[in-house]
Structure 1
Amino acid sequence: MRIAQIAPLYESVPPFAYGATERVVSYLTEELVARGHDVTLYASADSATAARLVPICARGLWRDANVWDTQTHHVRQLARVIGDAQRFDVIHFHGEPLHFAWADRSPCRTLTTLHGRLLPYDHGPLFREFARVPVVSISASQRRPVPWANWQGTVHHGLPLGEFEFQPMAGAYLLFLGRMMPEKRPDLAIEIARRSGVPLKIAAKIHPGERNYFRERIEPLLQRSRAFVEYLGEVGGLVRRQLIGNARALLLPIEWDEPFGMVMIEAMACGTPVIAFRRGAVPELLEDGVNGLVVDNVDEAVQSVARIDSIERGACRRVFEHRFTAARMTDDYLTIYDTLLAQDPSDPPRAAAQLDLRLDGTRPV
């Protein structure tokens, strides 16, 4: 199959550190190539892939100090894709929906994985206007605000089996990993660690728009909590993998409906259990008492830290191997590609057979 993968240009594929979407694109692309498909990746020039790379910009836009308007680069990327469209059987988009106005006129099949939060007021009219554009959700929770979109299925993210090494022994610290944004509540992670009496390591990227939040809200907490909180900044590569694997537990005290949460399955792959608030996709990804503990507030999170050692780290790894591998993710996408290719272009929207998930993350029989 001739497949184009269209990555966001914010980070390289794969990213150095933070960048869940680009990481997923990388895992999918490399797995497709390994299976013998003819894959072309449209991404930044500093990307590394076994596929054919079409470079759009010199480096990930968030790491280029000269870049101010990121949209102009994505428009150029779309123009390149449109010019090459006849070469492909399927074009798989992973970024902003700039292509929706063209997708229905594409000479080949298109598919769009929506990686972010969906808002009825903003995305509702978009999906009504472009009702024929095939889309995929990354969790059942994500699609809930806009159930009328042309959903082809829900595909949970996956990781290569060997990407993260299983660590059977728990470390002595809690971990907060991700992005320094208000909705992820790093301040609550600090409070949970303080009240639990367990040291906390924070490894988080600070985007330009979140610097004031960090300076005004988080930095003072870090200053007062030096005795038990270590702030590491943004980390990547081996350091990041070891940090996750050696943690006693990953804290995810989110206060927004996060559509997936890649760090949760990275923790599972290492055997590290997760303590997470019951928001967004958390109940889909975590089997409470098996690979983590699902809580509703800080008090419950503090109690969960005290009993986190009851979670078997081997069970966390087994859940990962059963549900969240790159091979399973690729199988799901290939099923959707095949269904789209077999579909008559004149069929009404949502004619494709869907790959859906129950809220517990299992597929209906």
Structure 2
Amino acid sequence: MRILLVMDPFIPVPPEHYGGIERVIYDIACQYVKMGHQVTIVAGPNSKSPDRLIIYGENGSLSPSINFKILTDVFFILQKEIRQHDVVHNFGRLLFLLPFLKNSIRKVQTYMRYVDQKNIEWLDKLRPVNLTYTAVSDAVVNTGKTRRSNWVTIYNCAPIAQFRFKKDVPADSYLAFLGRIERCKGLHSAIKVALLSKRKLIIAGNISDLEHEKTYFEQEIKPLIDGDQITYIGPVDNVQKNEFLGNASALLTPVEWFEPFPIIIPEAYACGTPVLGFNNGGIAEGIDEAITGFISTNVNEMAEQVKKVSRLDRHACRLKAEISYSDINIANDYLHVYELDI
């Protein structure tokens, strides 16, 4: 099969640190190539591909906007490449597919965020041909699904072979927080959980480049970092994640927004590390209660759950990663969508 993978041009594929969608694209592309498929990745500067690569756009921030030049560039790329491929899988803006809705090529639009259902309803009226939507959780699917549209849930993946399973850690080992440092990710709540449970918390992730989020870090987070109970180590790559996640007693995800489905859940499980999360968005879909972690609704509940983390089976976490979230299995899930009769 000849597969065309399309992404917004603002973050390289794969990203060194932040960038969930871009990481998934690269992971499934690598699996496609191993399976014998031909893959073309259309992405921004400094991107890589295990097969063929088309670069477009310019380096941007983490909160960019799509302009006319970007839309024009993508249009001409797709106009040429569609003839040479069997499927176009768009992880970028839905607008990228608009000129090709009546083209007979199989089209897949993947969402890793809350969906504006009005956009889907509007597109329904145009009666697109061979278009399937996928989303990374049932929660996201439910935000976008309409009577006419076809949706499939496919979760985010992790390259399991790159993560080492750590079967045992000390009962009092540190708690981990991994993610972009923005208020919606709930780092302030993770710190409260650590303080309430009298456990160490190690924080990893990049500080947002948005001014109000920088203020959040400087005024509300930084004063609580003492280098002892609360430590910040900066961004980490996949190699560093092995040690960081693998040696943690649990990963905390006390998000305060509609979290679609964070890649940190499969990554933590791949290391054998359970996850404690607030019940927002698709978080609960990734946690088998009292098996691979615990679901809560507030800081006090999560702090109480920290006391029970040592009862969880780290083998069950690794098995969950291998069965539900491996790059091999998720790549196959997408291949099945490419082959659907609709």
Matched, 1:41 2:41: yes
Indicate the SS of the match to 1:208: coil
- TM-score, normalising length: structure 2: 0.90
Cα 1:43–1:250 change in 2 (3 A) is same
The aligned counterpart of 1:77 is 74
Q: d(CA) in 1 for partners of 2:243 and 2:71? A: 34
Q: d(CA) in 2 for partners of 1:252 and 1:106? A: 41
The aligned counterpart of 1:317 is 318
Contact 1:39 1:51 in 2 (8 A): yes
Deviation readout 1:114-154 (Å, 9 max, x if unpaired): 1112234x545444445534211111111112320622411
The aligned counterpart of 2:13 is 13
The aligned counterpart of 2:244 is 243
The aligned counterpart of 1:358 is none
The aligned counterpart of 2:108 is 111
Amino acid at match of 1:330: A
The aligned counterpart of 1:146 is 144
Q: d(CA) in 2 for partners of 1:140 and 1:40? A: 28
Give, in angstroms, the shift of residue 110 of structure 1: 1.3
Indicate the SS of the match to 2:115: coil
Amino acid at match of 1:335: H
Indicate the SS of the match to 1:290: coil
Q: How does 1:1-365 map to 2 (within 5 A)?
A: 1-57=1-57, 60-62=59-61, 71=67, 72-73=69-70, 75-120=72-117, 123=119, 125-130=121-126, 132=128, 133-148=131-146, 150-170=149-169, 172-209=173-210, 211-216=211-216, 219-226=219-226, 227-339=228-340, 343=341, 352=342
Amino acid at match of 1:23: R
Give, in angstroms, the shift of residue 197 of structure 1: 0.8
Deviation readout 1:311-346 (Å, 9 max, x if unpaired): 11111101111111111112111111112xxx4xxx
Amino acid at match of 2:185: K
Deviation readout 1:156-182 (Å, 9 max, x if unpaired): 122233021111222621111111122
Contact 1:6 1:92 in 2 (8 A): yes
Q: d(CA) in 2 for partners of 1:17 and 1:268? A: 19
Contact 1:139 1:284 in 2 (8 A): yes
Cα 1:295–1:128 change in 2 (3 A) is same
Q: d(CA) in 2 for partners of 1:179 and 1:190? A: 15
Q: d(CA) in 2 for partners of 1:333 and 1:317? A: 22
Percentage of identical aligned residues: 26
The aligned counterpart of 1:347 is none
Give, in angstroms, the shift of residue 275 of structure 1: 0.5
The aligned counterpart of 1:357 is none
Deviation readout 1:85-108 (Å, 9 max, x if unpaired): 111110110011122421313352
- Count of residues in Structure 1 that have an aligned counterpart in Structure 2: 335
Indicate the SS of the match to 2:233: strand
Contact 1:186 1:218 in 2 (8 A): no
Contact 1:5 1:41 in 2 (8 A): yes
| Structure 1: gaps of 5 or more residues | 344-351, 353-365
Contact 2:184 2:257 in 1 (8 A): yes
Cα 1:130–1:31 change in 2 (3 A) is farther
Q: d(CA) in 1 for partners of 2:49 and 2:81? A: 19
Cα 1:181–1:126 change in 2 (3 A) is farther
Q: d(CA) in 1 for partners of 2:82 and 2:218? A: 46
Give, in angstroms, the shift of residue 45 of structure 1: 4.0
- TM-score, normalising length: structure 1: 0.85
Q: d(CA) in 1 for partners of 2:241 and 2:66? A: 27
Deviation readout 1:247-274 (Å, 9 max, x if unpaired): 1110000122211111011000000110
Contact 2:225 2:232 in 1 (8 A): no
Indicate the SS of the match to 2:160: coil
Q: d(CA) in 2 for partners of 1:145 and 1:237? A: 31
Contact 2:141 2:152 in 1 (8 A): no
Contact 1:159 1:326 in 2 (8 A): yes
Cα 1:288–1:8 change in 2 (3 A) is same
Contact 1:4 1:42 in 2 (8 A): yes
Q: d(CA) in 2 for partners of 1:335 and 1:49? A: 22
Amino acid at match of 2:90: F
Q: d(CA) in 1 for partners of 2:139 and 2:10? A: 25
Q: Superposition RMSD on alpha carbons, in Å?
A: 2.2
